[in-house]
Amino acid sequence: MAVSWEELAFKEAKESLKKLDSSQKGLNNHEAKARLDKFGYNELSQEKKLHPLKIFLEQFNNFIIYVLFFAVAVSFFIGEFTDAIVILIILFANALLGFFQNYRAEKSILALKKLTALHSTVIRDGEQVRIPAKEVVPGDILVLSEGDKIPADAKIITSNELVCDESVITGESIPVRKDNKPLTKRLKKEGIALGDVKNCLFSGTTIVNGNGLAVVFATGKDAEFGKIAESLSHVKQESTPLQKKLDSFGRKLSFLVIIVCALIFLLALFKNLDNLSFSSALDNFKLSISLAVAAVPEGLPVIITLALAMGVRSLSKKKALVRVLPSVETLGSTSVICTDKTGTLTKNQMTVKKLYLGGKALKVGGVGYSPKGKVEFVDSKKNSSSFIKENSLFFDVCQFCNSSSLFRQDGKWFVSGDPTEASLLVLNKKISYVPDKKIKKIKEFPFSSSRKMMSVIIKKGKDYFLLVKGAPDLILSNSSHLLEAGKRKKLSHSKDTISTSSEQELRKVIDEFAQQGYRVLGLGYRKLSSKEMKHIEKLHEDDLEKGFTFLGFAGMIDPIREEVPQAIENCRTAGMRVIMITGDYPLTAKAIGEQIGLGSQVVEGSHIDRVSEKKFKEIVANTNIFARVAPDQKMKIIQQLKDDGEVVAMTGDGVNDAPALKRADIGIAMGETGTEVAKQSSDMILVDNSFVNISNAVFEGRRIFDNIEKFINYLLATNLAEVLIILVAVFFAFPFPLIPIQILWINLITDGLPAIALGMDPASKDIMKKKPYKEKKIFSKEMLFAILLIGIIVTFGVLLIYFSNISKVSLEIARTMALTTLVLLEIVILDAVRNRFGQGLFSNPTLLLSLAGAFGAHFLILYTPLSRFFHTVPLTLGQWGSILLVVIPLILGFRLLSFILRFIREKHSERT
């Protein structure tokens, strides 16, 4: 690529930097708004807008509807104005209902996108603020840390071991180390590659290590990613897997229905050849087309979207934000939940409760982030002063090898940053440690999951020190000395040495702390030589993080969330297995696991890599606690679970969790502590990190799945009945039991509003006492059997009324009785379908209201002047009695059928 983009980048960055003072206060809000007006939102294209008229007109975009419009036009032409107008009114009413469904679904999806949009941290008016990434403007200072997704092209101001994954831009899979050095002359030539630009960050790329600041110089379409990805804005939104299945099923069913309706048309012509006229042929044609309009389930995918969208809204109220709509379908099938420990099973409110310093274990008082509490043996100011002096480097590590902050607001203490680090600042406050203002932080090597430690270089007096904290076993194994009573001693790594200065004895301390449920941090330091400091810019963490002097341990408690043990028990009852996968120390993981009901068997990540494939499969099948697990090992565990046929939900918050979140069937990111990369890789975000909300999400997923199944069962059973009623009557050469207007009317009042209300059905009482769906299979043999049986029973009931009365009363009365019987039986079907899931008649007020509306509307076309438009007549009490004599036994029959089908569902259904 030519250098032109680069010249522009530095020109813009330079102009922005000129406006920044030395304290880097960033833009003020007024300037930021002005720039937003000037440059526009930081997005590739304007957000999709809903066009109500377009959505309404799309309801008529159907071949069968076009044919019916043609038939209506012919009716107008031959003077049948009343029927034609009524059919048009019903078609428009149906379109309005379809519009309502589509509009709500589209609106919910757009709202979902806004809720889960990318956010960035910037400096405005001297303070760090979190804003939607689309509001980032040129001149904004980005605050960058591991896991952040870069929202715009930016020039690096400061860099602490920044490493960036630029594969989305360059195609190169190896991350690039970044710095704030100006480009050298050798780079200023034609054909420079983006990967060679070390002091710039590009929109869409990801920080995989380190932290720093950068000033934005290009946003939206002007950014490099904007130029590359402009075509992405035109990508059509994917349907969910269930929608695709139903769409495919709908097309096949439509084809079958059209063939049957064509058969009915031809059969009707053949049976009435002697009395055939153009008008009667047109009536036959309109009836066949009306039947096709009513029977073809063209609204199936839309109803599914609406049900999923309503589920998403319900989940958001339970603090679970769904990013990917198909994941709602998968939730109902989840059989294994793989969860992290910190912040999900625990509160992520660390408090240092024990110290190991100078060969002694000390207790620390206090709870939470309030600096109230004393350290054992430190009772007086004099004692405290000597204690701090003797262990000054330990508390220096707590203070300076730390990226968090502690502040007080409205009388309460709060933390910003990692709770583990914050607990060390609280400890320093408790012992009245005052940081030496002369100490200067020179360089930082941020924590990474591969190293399991963080280190900083400080200048203290004339000396330079590398301060380090991290996994206690790793700090120990990399230590050559230890500090005891202010004196530096040789650390023995021999297993035969038994003393406070041996690694073996110190490891016993780690185990003792961990067995009590403490999370243990090891602290150490290393004095740097002048030679090392001369080449410090060229040295990396691997060159320096060794040969430590061990300082001590900090044992901290992260309280278990009170609701977790019961939530795990609920998951077991629901047939779901819970697995804890943590990077923490094995004995700490074991202690937590025992408290929450996961047992005591723990397998370390390192053990996974040493066993055979057969043994590994056995371990995954029987182990619920994995400790010291690396990201690649986490992926391995998840893949094995999936290979075993499990549907896996996985929680994660770090940049290294992103691959595992993508690999799992349901990737769940942590809302409070999750990095942007983790969130963007996930299917769902837990707003408050609580494990209980995973259980709630599965509950909601099952409810939605059941409601979709109810809707499909109801819709197909009623549609089948309508087709069979006409087909049987025509076959036996009877006049049509229903006319086109009546068929369309039934389709409007019984398939419309009640079907939507089904999406609001509450969950059955035993929904979390059943095992997960083995697979996402809507059309089970049991359901197809139910649809067929219900369709035949309804056909029998309607035709019994029709055939038994047609010779006794006028054709209009017989049709009115058949129509009324069908309306009643379709309401009965709805009750029967819901009863299969153990739900009573009064559990859904919205459904009751819609049924009352449907029945009220039917009364209007019987007992008001509207009857002449629908070719109905008022029914007498005797005629109602005849209908009820058929309907009531069928109600009892349906109840018995529901009981049988429910029994089959529980014993031999698709649940395992």
**Rounded to whole angstroms, how far apart are CA atoms 14 and 361?**
54
Q: At what angle are helices 692-731 and 781-805 packed, to 10 degrees?
A: 40
The amino acid occupying position 486 is G
Structure tokens at 836: 């299969």
Q: What SS3 string covers 490-529? A: ECECCCCCCCCCEHHHHHHHHHHHHHCCCEEEEEEEEECC
Strands (E), 658-759: 666-670, 684-686
340 is catalytic: yes
**Rounded to whole angstroms, how far apart are CA atoms 8 and 223?**
11
DSSP 205: -
**Rounded to whole angstroms, how far apart are CA atoms 775 and 334?**
9
Nearest Cα to 122, choosing from 100, 111, 107, 138?
Answer: 138
**Rounded to whole angstroms, how far apart are CA atoms 456 and 399?**
11
**Which residue among the candidates 340, 418, 665, 706 is catalytic per the annotation?**
340
Decide the pairing of beta strands 463-470 and 453-460.
antiparallel
End-to-end CA distance of the chain: 57
Q: What φ, ψ does residue 336 adopt, rounded to 5°?
A: -135, 130
Calculate the CA dihedral of residues 40, 45, 46, 50 and round it to 10 degrees: 180
Q: Which residues of 626-653 are buried (b: 16+ CB within 10 A; e: fewer)?
A: bbbbbbebbbbbbebbeeeebbbbbbbb
**Rounded to whole angstroms, how far apart are CA atoms 46 and 32?**
19
Quote the longest CA-to-CA distance of the chain. Answer: 118
Structure tokens at 699: 């509950």
The amino acid occupying position 18 is K
Q: What φ, ψ does residue 38 adopt, rounded to 5°?
A: -75, -50
Nearest Cα to 311, choosing from 696, 774, 850, 713?
Answer: 696
Beta-carbon neighbour count of residue 53 at 10 Å? 8
Active site residues: 340
